[in-house]
């Protein structure tokens, strides 16, 4: 694969994650609204919001340190970097040789870590509350993520994303072995926790005392808020891409020709739409669990991930 192709793919990957993540959010919101008997916001509302935030002044607390200003940019860059590792429609990834799935997970955690710091930074009670809750969840989710990632890697015999997809894509029998399925279940729960969806966190709430992610970013405004919001949407987009493509690698292009790219894009869109539908459905039938039940949920997902690893060696 020559550098021009890699460069072009990189550009397309970035454009997709920047442009399509608000659409994905919009899709979830609209599906949810329809399921709940409402009309929902306009399709391009996330874009309107971004445009609005960018035009507004960014107010920064006098007590905030550099971390507060730095975090939105760091988060944004983290998400863009991750986009170069995550397969959307092709397994030919620009930064494939640089790192694998473990790097991805720690970029996610890096951005979470800084967001939690910036929540504490302004000294507001809400930020602190949000950070403490987010860290509780992150600390419990991280072992599960690593175990789930390991079990996929064990099945595919590699932590390199391209290799995983090529291996799993070439032998569909691997997709139905218990290790893979258990890892999938664990990963779903972690995705919900990490992206702040119901039943862990309610992304649409206005009740400041119940918030987790929203509480941390309450102090942000203007372009900072735009970046933080956009990063959160990209995070959801990336997590769902990983989830769908790692566990259902059908249709991901493995060769450098236009037809398989187009087919890959279409199938990728279908997969994300299905994932969005699943989230919308879950968020319609579920309520938010009491916050002290979240550890139980995550402990469950950890146990599932552990079983995945054990089953690999035992079966």
Partner 1 sequence: MNPTGHPHLDSLLAQFGDRLQQVTIPYPAELHFRIAREDILDVAGYLYQDLKVPLDLLLAVDQRPQRGIFELVYLFGDRLRHAHTSFTVPVPAEDPVFPSLAGKIFVAGRYEQEVWDMFGLVPQQHPDLRRLVRHAYWPEDYYPLRKDAGTPGDGTVPDFKDEGQPFRFQRVEGEGIFEIPVGPVHAGIIEPGHFRFSVEGETIINLESRLWWVHKGIEKLFETLPLRQTVKLAERISGDTSFSHCLAYCQALEKVAGVEVPLRARYLRTIYAEMERLYNHIHDIGFIAQDTGFMWAGAQGGRLREQLVRLNAQLTGSRFLRDVCLPGGVTRDISDVVHLALVLADWLKDFHEVLQVLRSNTIFLDRMQDTGILFPQRAEDLQVLGYAARASGQNRDTRRDHPYAAYDFLEFDVPVFEKGDVQARFEVRVEEIRQSVRLIHAALGKLPAGPLMAPFPDLPENKVAFSQVEGWRGTITHWVQSGSQNQIYRCKVKDPSFVNWPAINLAIRTNIVPDFPLTNKSFDLSYSGNDL
By CB under 8 A, name the binding residues for partner 1. 32, 35-38, 125-126, 128-129, 198-199, 202, 204-210, 218, 283-293
The DSSP H or E segment spanning 149 is helix 125-156
The DSSP H or E segment spanning 11 is helix 3-35
DSSP string, 81-141: HHHTTS-SSBS--TTTTT--HHHHHHHHHHHHHHHHHHHHHT--HHHHHHHHHHHHHHHHH
Least distance between partner 1 and beta carbon 63 (Å): 15
Exposure b/e, 65-83, CB count within 10 A at least 16 = b = eebbeebbebbbebbbbbb
DSSP-derived secondary structure letter, 290: P
Question: How many CA atoms does the CB half-sphere of 48 hold within 13 Å?
Answer: 6
- Shorter beta-carbon distance to partner 1: residue 171 or 296: 296
Phi, psi of 27 (to 5 degrees): -60, -45
Least distance between partner 1 and beta carbon 210 (Å): 4
Least distance between partner 1 and beta carbon 188 (Å): 17
Least distance between partner 1 and beta carbon 299 (Å): 17
Distance (Å) of CA 282 to CA 36, 189, 288, 294: 12, 12, 11, 16
Least distance between partner 1 and beta carbon 294 (Å): 10
Q: How many other C-beta atoms lie within 10 A of the C-beta of residue 265? A: 17
Q: How far apart are CA 206 and CA 58, in angstroms?
A: 21
Least distance between partner 1 and beta carbon 280 (Å): 10
Least distance between partner 1 and beta carbon 225 (Å): 14
Residue 253's SS3 state is strand
Q: How many other C-beta atoms lie within 10 A of the C-beta of residue 123? A: 11
């Amino acid at each position: 694969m020559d550098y021009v192709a890699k460069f072009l793919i990189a550009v397309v990957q970035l454009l997709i994650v920047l442009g399509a993540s608000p659409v994905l959010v919009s899709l979830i919101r609209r599906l949810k609204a329809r399921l709940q008997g409402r009309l929902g916001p306009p399709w391009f509302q996330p874009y309107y919001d971004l445009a609005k935030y960018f035009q507004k002044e960014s107010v920064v607390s006098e007590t905030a340190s550099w971390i507060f200003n730095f975090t939105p940019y760091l988060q944004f860059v983290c998400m863009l970097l991750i986009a170069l590792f995550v397969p959307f429609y092709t397994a030919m990834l620009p930064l494939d040789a640089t790192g694998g799935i473990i790097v991805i997970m720690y970029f996610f955690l890096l951005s979470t870590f800084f967001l939690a710091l910036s929540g504490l930074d302004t000294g507001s009670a809400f930020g602190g509350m949000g950070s403490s809750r987010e860290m509780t969840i992150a600390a419990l989710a991280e072992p599960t993520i690593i175990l789930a990632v390991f079990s996929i890697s064990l099945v595919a015999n590699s932590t390199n994303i391209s290799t995983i997809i090529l291996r799993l894509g070439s032998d569909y029998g691997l997709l139905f072995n218990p290790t893979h399925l258990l890892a999938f279940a664990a990963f779903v729960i972690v995705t919900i926790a990490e992206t702040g969806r119901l039943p862990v966190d309610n992304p649409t709430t206005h009740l400041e005392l119940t918030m987790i992610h929203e509480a941390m970013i309450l102090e942000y405004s203007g372009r900072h808020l735009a970046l933080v919001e956009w990063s959160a949407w990209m995070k959801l987009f990336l997590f769902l891409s990983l989830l769908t493509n790692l566990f259902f690698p059908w249709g991901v292009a493995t060769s450098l020709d236009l037809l398989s790219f187009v087919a890959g894009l279409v199938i990728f869109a279908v997969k994300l739409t299905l994932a969005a539908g699943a989230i919308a459905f879950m968020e319609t039938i579920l309520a938010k669990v009491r916050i002290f039940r979240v550890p139980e949920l995550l402990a469950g997902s950890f146990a599932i991930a552990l079983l995945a690893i054990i089953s690999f060696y035992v079966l």
